[in-house]
Structure formats: C-alpha cells, structure tokens
Structure 1
Amino acid sequence: MDPAKVRQHFDRIGHFRILVIGRSNAGKTTILQRVCNTTELPEITNAKGEKVDPVVVQGTLERGYHNIEDELIFRSNPGFIFHDSRGFEAGSDSELKLMKKFVAERATTMKLDKRIHAIWFCIPMTDYERTIVAAEKKFFNECNTAKVPVIVVLTKADALQFAAIEQLIDQGCTIEEAKEKAGEAAIQMLSKLKMRIETQLDRCKYPPKDCVSLASMNEDHGDCNPLLRCTTNALDEVELQKLVISTQQVNIVLNIEYAVKVILSTCNDPFHKEALEWNILGWMPCAKVCKAYFLFGKL
C-alpha cells in the first residue's frame, strides 16, 4: 500500500468514535479512562466545536447532564472520541427519540470523520436485581442499530462479591465461610446473570452483537482488553478493526495478536517484505509507528 493512501485512509476516518449508553453510576467514565490509560477527566467539545467549561464537566458525566452530540476526548489518547447518552434510565420518550436520531444519522453519515463505529451499552452489576429495565428494552426494540455493532458491557462485576457473601450467609454460612466461598459464588452469579441478559436481549428486534463483563476498572489491575477484543471482533470491516486496535494503547500484545492473525489468514505472499511491513503497520499504534514510517520510509 502506498504511504499516501494509508495517510488518506486515516485522514478520512480520523478517529474511532463510540457512543456510550447506560444508567447513572454505571461506571462509564471509569471504563473510558481505563481504555485511554488515564485518570483525568476528558475534554468536552460541543456540536459547534466549542470546549465546555471543565467546571461544568466535572461531576456531570455519570449523571448524564450533557448533550449526546458532545465529544469526549482524553488527552492521553485523542484517537478515541466518545459520546455519552443522557437521562437514559429515566425512560424519557424525548431522550429515546434523540438517541434514535443520533444513531440513525451517525451510523450512516457520508462524513466518515463523524460516523460512530460502535456502541457500548453499560449495565451495572450493582443493580443485579434489575438487570434489564423498560428503557433498555425500548432501546433494543426501537433503536435501529443494524449499521453499528452494540456491545453490552456488564460493569462493576466485582460488586457481586458482596452479593455472594450475603446470599451465602442467608444460606447458613458463617461470615468466614461466606468470604472463602464468595469468589466462586460470584463467578456463578455473573454467569447466570449474563445468560439471562443475553437471552432477554436476543429476543429484541435489534439485539447486541456481544456481551462482556468488566471488573475493577478503578484499580491498576483492571483489564479492559475483553471489551477491546469484543469491539474489534464485532466490526465487519478489517480496516475498522485496524483502526480500533491501532488506536488502543493499553496493550501492545493486542496489536501483535491481531496483526499476526489477520496477516496469516489474508496475506497472499507473507514473505514479501514490503507487503508484510505495511500489513503489520496497519495494526500498530498509528500515532507513533505509522508516523515514523511516513517520515523515514522504513521500520
């Protein structure tokens, strides 16, 4: 592939754009911070391209007071642009209409730099007794997401440890016994909840592409790789898969894994040096590796 064509490809798409949907306190901001490898709040730009006052931004993200058209960008990784729904759990018809309009326009727009590439639908496991509410069913039945993959994200899965302890105590275990058994019990609870959610949503008109659980996103060991994998695998176009993998910067192993997997399955001549280099570069962190290649013409 000619360097000019590669530059043109990334210039046309620009960023990997994600709509994040979910209830208040679903841990959405924490997930975005983990994906972008930062603890800072994002910079927010409105539809006019004007930056929103950071004082207004702080404390509003999880309560959903901003506009769905706003762009959330973390300075640590500006390759991702996020949009966040607002007032979702309230079940407001006006808010659902706004979301449906946004998805319909942004999933098919000819302005490639404005197109959304994936939707992350967050359901917190802190509310495990009401995993699917009416507003969420309305979304999956009424919002046409045929052109953009939806990944259901079961957030705060580690909260099920406390629920497991309570259940074990109710079953007659001592506190010490409950704590000892809580890990395995929580895993079983999550498995059942995930199966129940998938079964319910698969019956909807526009079911999600996949479902993944995340835990401890506010901890250093929190692992967002399952979400990145699900998102990548849900994309139909290899170029979009390259875009999300090359944009993520939390795990270089993902870049190498997808580069090798796709190259081995699609490359006609894996021993052609130039072709192999370009194929590998397509999956690498583009801000660093591709820029170096454009400047120096070699690895």
Structure 2
Amino acid sequence: MSKIRATCPVFRVLIIGRANAGKTTILQKVCNVDKDTEPVVPGSYTLFQVSLSNRWRQRGRHDITNQITYPDSRFIFHDSRGIEAGSVDEFQIIHKFIRERASKTSLAEHLHAIWFCVSMDNTRPLVEAELAFFNEDTADVPVVVVFTKYDALLDRVANDLDIIDMTEQSQVDVDKEAEARYQERYHGRIMRTANPPKAVVRLQEMDKVETQCPELSEQTAVAIDDLSLRQLFVSVQQNNIYLCMQEAARQVHVLSYICYFVCS
C-alpha cells in the first residue's frame, strides 16, 4: 500500500449524470463533508467562489478536464454533463477524455473509476444516448452505475396505485411494482448493452444527513480488479468504515494463507 501511495496518492473518478441527478451530494457523502463545504482546487487549494461557480453554471460553461476535490480528501473528481438525447458532442468529449487518461504514463494521472448517475425522479426511462455510452469500451476503467433517488420511484408507484394510507401490505405491493419497473426500464436495459457496468447501486433518501451511501463505496471496490488500486480506493473513501475493516481482514487472511503455504 505504501508503494502505490508513493506513486499514486490520489484516486481519480469521472462522474457522469444529467442535471439534478444528485452528483454533488454523492461527492460530498463519499468525502464525508457537509453540504456547505466548498470544493478546492488541487495544488493551490484555493476555494471556489460560490457566486462565481453559480454564474458559470448558469452560462452553461463546462470543462470535463477540471479537477474537483474537497478539503482533506484524496479523491479527484471530473464532472461531465449528462448524455442527453442527441448530445453527440458530449458523448465524444467523454470518451475522448477517457482514452486520453488511459494513455497517461503516470498512474496518478489515470482515470481509476467512472460513476454513471441516473436519476429516478423522472418519468422517462433511460434515453438512447445514455445507453449508447455502454456500447463503447472505457479503456478498462471500471464503471459503476448509480441509480439515484430510488425513493422517487417508490413515491411514483404509490401514486399510480392510488395508495393514500400506506399499510404493510400496500408497502409490499409498492416495493414489488417498483422493483419490476426498475428491472424493466433501468437495470435490465443497461445490463443488455455491449459493455455493461461492473457494478450497480441504488441510492435513496440522500437528502438526509445520516445517509452516507456506503453501498457505493462497497460496489466500487468490488468493481476494481486491480488489487493495489482497490486498496487505494478503500483507504481514500471515508463513508464506509466496514469496508476498511473487510479489506484489512482479507489481507490478513491472504497473508496467513501465504505463510501457511511457505511453511508447509
């Protein structure tokens, strides 16, 4: 671990998603900071001015190469606008960025993971332009699809079923119908693409302070095949202490097995 930290002290993630997909909230949760914490610029550690940042967004300016991090975090994030219907240019920008990062000689400059966020608070299913992302390879960078706002799907199903007072049985009915829609309109369609994601996560109630999305960290670790990079990610993430314990226990188990094999 000390060796890879020396050559690669940061873990780099590209996060993709339409507007209001919950990307900022995810980054804050993973970095274990509150919603009022401003991102910093790596190197200079100069705080972004919120007013300037807001004006920039309002004008629609965007650059996927911009690096985003938070105080005391060893994550570096790159933010991409969502692949909207017909957004061929954005699609090309994203894949060009992925290829360029894959060609870097320095591991620290490589892209280590991609989080593809899909909000479920919209009545539209996945658009074809989003699915098209999974028909091209990502230069061996593991992709985790993050279905955000799953609770919005549950609310929509309850409304469609005309449920006013939620009972134990009606909750079962809502959960069953929501699962069916999720599998048919979201998960199933993505998993049938040419290059499906390495892992999938569903998030809900992310507006609550106590919700820390530990499952995202867990599934990202699962998606990373490279042992050293997985260990780096586990050490960098700050929202899943059990993941750190599991990785430590796994390493102890491996070392015990090696010692037993050598001494036998």
Please report the TM-score for the alignment, with normalisation by the length of structure 2.
0.85
Distance in 1 of aligned mates of 2:52 and 2:125 = 30
Higher relative contact order (CA 8 A, sep 6+): 2
Superposed counterparts of 1:101-250, under 5 Å: 101-127=96-122, 129-142=123-136, 144-169=137-162, 173=163, 175-176=164-165, 178=166, 183-196=171-184, 197-250=186-239
Contact 1:27–1:62 under 8 Å retained in 2: no
Cα drift, residue 264 of structure 1? 1.1
Distance in 1 of aligned mates of 2:107 and 2:58 = 28
Please report the TM-score for the alignment, with normalisation by the length of structure 1.
0.76
Superposed counterparts of 1:62-101, under 5 Å: 65-75=61-71, 77-86=72-81, 88-101=83-96
Distance in 1 of aligned mates of 2:215 and 2:178 = 15
Cα drift, residue 70 of structure 1? 0.7
How many matched pairs? 259
Cα drift, residue 8 of structure 1? 4.0
Provide structure 2 residue ranges, at least 5 long, that are not aligned to the other structure.
Answer: none
Asked whether 1:57 is paired with 2:53, we answer yes
Contact 2:144–2:219 under 8 Å retained in 1: yes
Contact 2:32–2:238 under 8 Å retained in 1: yes
Asked whether 1:26 is paired with 2:21, we answer yes
Q: CA RMSD in A?
A: 3.0
Contact 1:123–1:131 under 8 Å retained in 2: no
Asked whether 1:269 is paired with 2:245, we answer no
Cα drift, residue 194 of structure 1? 3.7
SS in 2 for 1:73: coil
Provide structure 1 residue ranges, at least 5 long, that are not aligned to the other structure.
Answer: 1-5, 271-299
Distance in 2 of aligned mates of 1:161 and 1:62 = 31
SS in 1 for 2:259: coil
